[in-house]
Chain A
């Protein structure tokens, strides 16, 4: 089955802790994205990557970090500098740099203990 997989589905962070959200795709897509969604809100772009070993900041990158060492993987780290991390995090991928027809994972709900 081709698709995009996010894990874990639920994640809890203690104060001062860094946590990493996993995103893996076997669609052979070049571009990958991380979005944050707050209740009743739209999606806000955190980071995106159009090719391996390259990524760009989105609109709300502060307090987050990413890496793109492999085409199929784009993990997101929520650092302790992110003071309000509670949100639903969505990873997506697309075939090329045109940002058309994004495929989304099922999301990770991050909460603060």
Chain B
């Protein structure tokens, strides 16, 4: 069962611009995580935000969480070519002993 759904499915922006991707989920969660995956590689953990937090920063990343709307957003500021990757949200639903990944947003940074 898919819990998180990312939007958009694909995004192309110019280098230096900001990239925003969104994640919606269906049931109450303990936390939400964002991961990055370069083509043909494993995922890398970026940031975790707990259900009692509204915003979190890490370097050029900003994550927000709106539990009333059951949604999260990931903002990458001043994008670089190296940010080209797929980005996944993963949710830890209350009462469910596992995390569920969405289908991801494919981000392409144009030079």
Name A's B-contacting residues (CB within 8 A): 4, 6, 35, 40-45, 48, 56, 58-59, 88, 90, 92, 97-107, 109
Contact = CB atoms under 8 A, between A and B. Distances in A.
B44 interface: yes
A45 B45 contact: no
A45 B103 contact: no
B45 A58 contact: no
B43 A41 contact: no
Nearest to A106: B42
Nearest to A40: B103
A99 B30 CA distance: 11
B69 interface: no
B13 interface: no
B101 A90 contact: no
A100 B42 contact: no
Contacts of B92: 98-100
A106 B102 CA distance: 19
Given A90-B42, A99-B92, A42 B1 contact: no
A45 B98 contact: yes
Given A98-B30, A99-B92, A106-B42, 9 more contacts: A42-B2, A42-B88, A43-B43, A45-B100, A97-B97, A100-B33, A102-B35, A102-B45, A104-B43
B30 to A, nearest CB: 8
Given A42-B88, A100-B31, A101-B33, A59 B1 contact: yes
Interface string B79-111: 000000000101010000111111110000000
B60 interface: no
Contact of B41 (A40, A42, A56, A107): A107
Given A56-B97, A99-B92, A99-B98, A42 B103 contact: yes
Contacts of A56: 97-98
Interface in B41-93: 41-45, 48, 88, 90, 92
A56 B92 CA distance: 16
